[in-house]
């Protein structure tokens, strides 16, 4: 915490020095959303380059003066929390003055900018992420406050802990981890008792685009158990994008890539080639929108696709057909096809990429 306080004090000292010299104070923040500042490494995924371009948030410029003030406001909130050893969620910070901040996304972006500027993980700034992910299956652990969580006993769903770094005593006999894109598919697999029928496994869902805690948990489980991790996504550009976030990270959080990515993650399904292989009726598929076409074209250009020839092939199948499918399309074959046939066969015969 002394390191965090010192980093914030250095920023404020810079502001005071500028004022003393009758200059307009400026905050310099790395350009974390610019692809030119990102490099791709097989072992880490997308990470920020050491000497990246920066943007200036000036106090004397009408376009950025408000943002400058909001950054100082949030820095003061963080400083007080670190001093008093208290925590708050990004939502708490927003609701402390909704009129001032204007929207939740403004608070989210500023906190990420501060984390990147100070080179300090968000958790160390005493800012908690609201968790939306779920975990179930063969896993038990102790939370930071001593609460014992045992997912193994039942088909109960547990919320991903809000302090993943603080959990300890992780134990599991799981043979693999299955990341499921959507909550509905996750619940369906639970109802079918999938995680104990095939072989013991851990199931996780970020319920769409994963939040920080869900990504941290996937990484922590990988570090702890070193077992295979598979993804089960819709066969559409959005599903591929979500899988890439787990595997290679996101541009906006590339400064924290080392804690968040698991490049060994495998694509289990739903593969575009599966739709043909399983003779899925064309009427059950959904035509691409313009947005889908643009999203897919952007994914195909990304640096990590070049080193995944099999993925590249699947994306080409998707681009050529201009059709997408949700995992639920498998129910057109039979109601429990996913848990009874599709997943067991894939896992047994190595049908992943």
By the 8 A CB rule, do 90 and 20 touch? no
pLDDT > 90: what percent of the chain? 27
- Say yes or no to pLDDT of 88 above 90: no
Q: Which CATH class is domain 134-349?
A: alpha beta
Q: Tell me if domain 2-128 and domain 134-349 are identical in fold.
A: no
Given 95, 246, 304, 337, the catalytic residue:
95
pLDDT tens column, 139-154 = 999 988 888 888 886 6
| Assessment of whether the complete model's pTM goes beyond 0.75 | yes
- What does the domain layout of the chain look like in residue ranges? 2-128, 134-349
Three-state DSSP class for residue 89 = strand
The predicted structure's pLDDT at residue 155: 67
CATH of domain 2-128: 1.10.10.10
pLDDT tens column, 185-233 = 998 888 888 877 778 889 999 988 898 889 999 999 999 999 999 999 9
Four-CA torsion 166, 170, 174, 177, nearest 10 degrees? 10
| Annotated catalytic residue 87 | no
Q: Are strands 54-58 and 26-30 parallel, antiparallel or unpaired?
A: antiparallel
* Average pLDDT of the residues of the chain: 87
Rg (CA), the chain: 22
Q: How far is CA 39 from CA 109, 195, 249, 252, 336, in A?
A: 21, 37, 11, 13, 42
**Closest residue by Cα to residue 285 from 241, 233, 329:** 329
């Amino acid at each position: 915490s002394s390191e965090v306080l010192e980093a914030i004090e250095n920023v404020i000292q810079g502001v005071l020095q500028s004022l003393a010299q009758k200059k307009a104070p400026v905050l310099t923040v790395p350009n974390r959303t610019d692809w030119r500042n990102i490099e791709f490494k097989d072992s880490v995924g997308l990470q920020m380059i050491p000497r990246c371009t920066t943007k200036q948030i000036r106090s004397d410029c009408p376009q950025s003066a408000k943002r400058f003030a909001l950054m100082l406001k949030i820095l003061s909130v963080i400083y007080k929390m670190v001093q008093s050893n208290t925590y708050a969620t990004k939502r708490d910070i927003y609701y402390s003055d909704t009129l001032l901040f204007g929207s939740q996304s403004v608070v989210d972006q500023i906190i990420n900018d501060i984390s990147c500027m100070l080179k300090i993980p968000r958790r160390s700034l005493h800012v908690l992420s609201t968790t939306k992910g779920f975990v179930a299956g063969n896993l038990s652990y102790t939370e930071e406050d001593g609460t014992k969580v045992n997912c193994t006993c039942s088909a109960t769903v547990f919320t991903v802990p809000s302090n993943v770094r603080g959990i300890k005593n992780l134990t599991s006999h799981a043979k693999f981890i299955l990341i499921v894109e959507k909550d509905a598919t996750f619940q369906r697999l639970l109802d079918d008792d999938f995680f104990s029928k095939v072989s013991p496994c851990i199931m996780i869902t970020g319920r769409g685009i994963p939040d920080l805690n869900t990504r941290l948990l996937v990484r922590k489980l990988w570090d702890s158990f070193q077992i295979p991790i598979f993804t089960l996504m819709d066969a559409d550009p959005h599903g591929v994008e979500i899988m890439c976030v787990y595997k290679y990270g996101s541009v906006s959080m590339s400064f924290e890539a080392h804690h968040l990515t698991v490049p060994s993650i495998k694509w289990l399904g739903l593969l575009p080639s599966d739709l043909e292989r399983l003779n899925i009726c064309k009427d059950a598929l959904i035509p691409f929108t313009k947005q889908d076409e643009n999203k897919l074209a952007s994914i195909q250009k990304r640096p990590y696709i070049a080193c995944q020839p099999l993925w590249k092939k699947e994306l080409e199948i998707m681009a050529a057909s201009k059709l997408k499918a949700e995992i639920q399309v498998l129910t057109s074959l039979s109601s429990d096809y996913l848990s009874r046939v599709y997943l067991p066969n894939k896992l047994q015969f190595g049908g992943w990429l």
